[in-house]
Amino acid sequence: MGNGGLMREITAKRIVVKIGTSSLVKADGAVNLASIERLAKVLCNLKNNGKEVVLVSSGAIGVGMGKLNITKRPASIAQQQAVAAVGQGELIGLYERQFAQYGISVAQLLLTRDVLLYPQSNHNVHNAFDELLKMNVIPVVNENDTVSVDELDHMTKFGDNDQLSAIVAKIIDADLLIMLSDINGFYTDNPTKNPNAKLIRTVNNLNPQILGAAGGHGTQFGTGGMVTKLKAAKRIMENNQQMILANGKNPQIIDQILQGEDVGTLFTSVSEGKVMGMQ
């Protein structure tokens, strides 16, 4: 999956992995158990090799739809919140069982944006992450969909988990954000519509033209699209951190990324394209 044998220098120790709904829920709405099992194996192996890992997981609404045998994403906010409440419990249960097979515990953190706007609560969240990582626990983060709204002056939503993952990376001072999606990386054009679209291996500058070139939403089970991923990358680069966008169909791609294989797109302000972090 590399590009002519090219390698990146990877030294990241503290890593945020964001996995999208498309990697967790099949096209028919069924939970992708094989994908979750592979993800658990990879992340537990990272922990056993001394990495600090935080998982930002989408999928509550998608898993809830499957649990309730709903084939079309609910239109109303109240319905989405109800479905998310069902799905979140199911999702964290799946993670608990899969990670337990490898002797690793997980912890559920459901966040809203207003929590992070206030210094004291922001400090408390930061401390919770630190303590969980010290306990050798993998925090599993999602937006608290059952109470998050984005209306008038009551702004509690992050908007999407792509943004949330970048914010979490900043809170914990992560070395690297690995964003797993249903696309191989960032292209010069939409590869599903333009067969001549080229995969861009490294992005050092996100200008308005690049941001404006992306658009559209993800699957019916998710909310993301390329524009949200570029906005997350912009946050990461402004904080002098780095992000790799790659295809999460097989979560074992995380191993390839950390072994330095040239997969996905690296977003970095470091012009030589190295992924730097704590040794």
Binding residues for ATP: 18, 181-182, 223-229
245-262 burial, b at 16+ Cβ within 10 Å, e below that, comes to bbbbbbbebbebbbebbb
Per the annotation, where are the binding residues?
18, 58, 145, 161, 181-182, 223-229
Q: Which residues contact 260 (CB under 8 A, 6 or more apart)?
A: 7, 8, 9, 10
Residue 96 and residue 103 in contact, taking contact as beta carbons nearer than 8 Å = no
Helix 60-67 / helix 77-100 crossing angle, nearest 10 deg? 90
Question: What angle in degrees, to the nearest 10, is found between the helix axes of 33-48 and 77-100?
Answer: 50
Instruction: Count Cβ neighbours within 10 Å for each residue of 15-29 and write b for 16 or more, e otherwise.
Output: bbbbbbbbbbbeeeb
Binding-site positions for substrate read 58, 145, 161
Query: Residue type for 189, please?
Result: D
